[in-house]
Amino acid sequence: MMTPKTDIFGSTIRTFGIAAPASSCKPEELCAGIQVLEQCGIKVITGKHLFRKGTFSYLSADDSFRIDDFNSLAENESVDAIICTRGGYGTPRILEKINYEVLKERNLPVIGFSDITALHLAMLSQNAGRCVASQMVARLPESMLSRTTLSGMKRVYRQLDGTGGTWNKVGRKLVALSGDQTVSGGVIPVNLTLAAALCGTDYMPSMKGRIVIIEEVGEPVRKIDRMLNQLLYSKFFHGAAAVVFAQFTDCGNSAERNRLFLDFADRVNCPVFRGLEYGHALPSLSFLFDEPCRIGDRSLFLQ
């Protein structure tokens, strides 16, 4: 039996399906991202409606077409994983129409972050597929030039193959805001806006025993405050092992934001940290939802 060919990500995934469940990317960005994948030896199958447009300018296509693309790719037996073009907005609109049974049956990886958080949390709540928080198609060319980002992508793709290694320090110099002790749990990386948007829905899984990593982009501190309160009041953080504030890119005054994080740390019943490289700026780490994670000595460790 021949050994499966591997690409520079270190994965035996051979075919990616490309979907745009949220906003669209520019055609030239899509082409550049596809070129990166193909240079890695990966075959690409694109959704039929990536640039169809429709009723709302901020969506890549109307809901029915985005749903059709995603479910068709999920049902395609030749597709080994689905990678999203970008975030933006739109994923929460289609959660009730996703074919979770197919995702569960195939244990299919779905790759993305930001607005894709809504889909990932829904998948987690339905125990369907494998949620991968990592770089999307539109930013692959830039991501490949960031050593830390690329290393993180390689690591998480190895995890998909079940070839994780020993514990490695991937997050350094975390700032402990409360409870500076060693904690462990499955890691759950989320975008703050999308986590808040799912409060009170059937698509919000429990965070009990999990390490919640939070990122955001382009929101003022007062809105971050509002969304954190919404999550607190909805008991989103109930039983969490820890909360880690990651990148808050272009999110107001950093000093005021850090004061808000300290205020939050006083109100939640688990250790809280900040300073992790994950989110909308590069370098950015990658995660497989619920993979084992440990925080100790103000560092984050993954396998």
Q: For residue range 24-39, what is the model confidence (pLDDT) as tens digits?
A: 999 999 999 999 999 9
Query: Any idea which residue has 């992790």 for tokens?
Result: 276
Q: What is the pLDDT of residue 7?
A: 60
Q: What is the pLDDT of residue 301?
A: 95
Rounded to whole angstroms, the Cα distance separating 200 from 168 reads 36
Rounded to whole angstroms, the Cα distance separating 202 from 35 reads 38
1-10, 46-55, 259-268: which has the highest mean pLDDT?
A: 259-268
CB neighbours (10 Å) of residue 76? 16
pLDDT bin (cut points 50, 70, 90) of residue 2 is very low
| Mean of per-residue pLDDT scores for the chain | 94
Interacting residues of 254 by C-beta distance below 8 A, sequence separation 6+: none
What is the per-residue pLDDT across 114-132, written as a single tens digit (0 to 9) for each?
A: 999 999 999 999 999 999 9
Q: What is the pLDDT of residue 165?
A: 67
Q: What is the pLDDT of residue 268?
A: 96
pLDDT bin (cut points 50, 70, 90) of residue 168 is confident
What is the per-residue pLDDT across 128-155, written as a single tens digit (0 to 9) for each?
A: 999 999 999 999 999 999 999 999 999 9
Is the pLDDT confidence value at 187 over 50? yes
pTM of the model: 0.95
Looking at residue 131, its amino acid is: C
Rounded to whole angstroms, the Cα distance separating 63 from 95 reads 10
What is the per-residue pLDDT across 240-296, written as a single tens digit (0 to 9) for each?
A: 999 999 999 999 999 999 999 999 999 999 999 999 999 999 999 999 999 999 999
Q: Are 297 and 275 in contact (CB under 8 A)?
A: no
Interacting residues of 45 by C-beta distance below 8 A, sequence separation 6+: 15, 16, 17, 18, 73, 76, 78, 79
Report strand pairing: 168-171 vs 299-302: antiparallel
CA angle 286-67-16, nearest 5°?
Answer: 45
The CA radius of gyration of the chain, in Å to the nearest whole number, is 18
CB neighbours (10 Å) of residue 181? 10
What is the per-residue pLDDT across 52-87, written as a single tens digit (0 to 9) for each?
A: 888 999 999 999 999 999 999 999 999 999 999 999
Looking at residue 50, its amino acid is: L
pLDDT bin (cut points 50, 70, 90) of residue 178 is very high
pLDDT bin (cut points 50, 70, 90) of residue 164 is low
pLDDT bin (cut points 50, 70, 90) of residue 9 is low
CA angle 63-68-70, nearest 5°?
Answer: 95
Interacting residues of 199 by C-beta distance below 8 A, sequence separation 6+: 230, 231, 234, 236
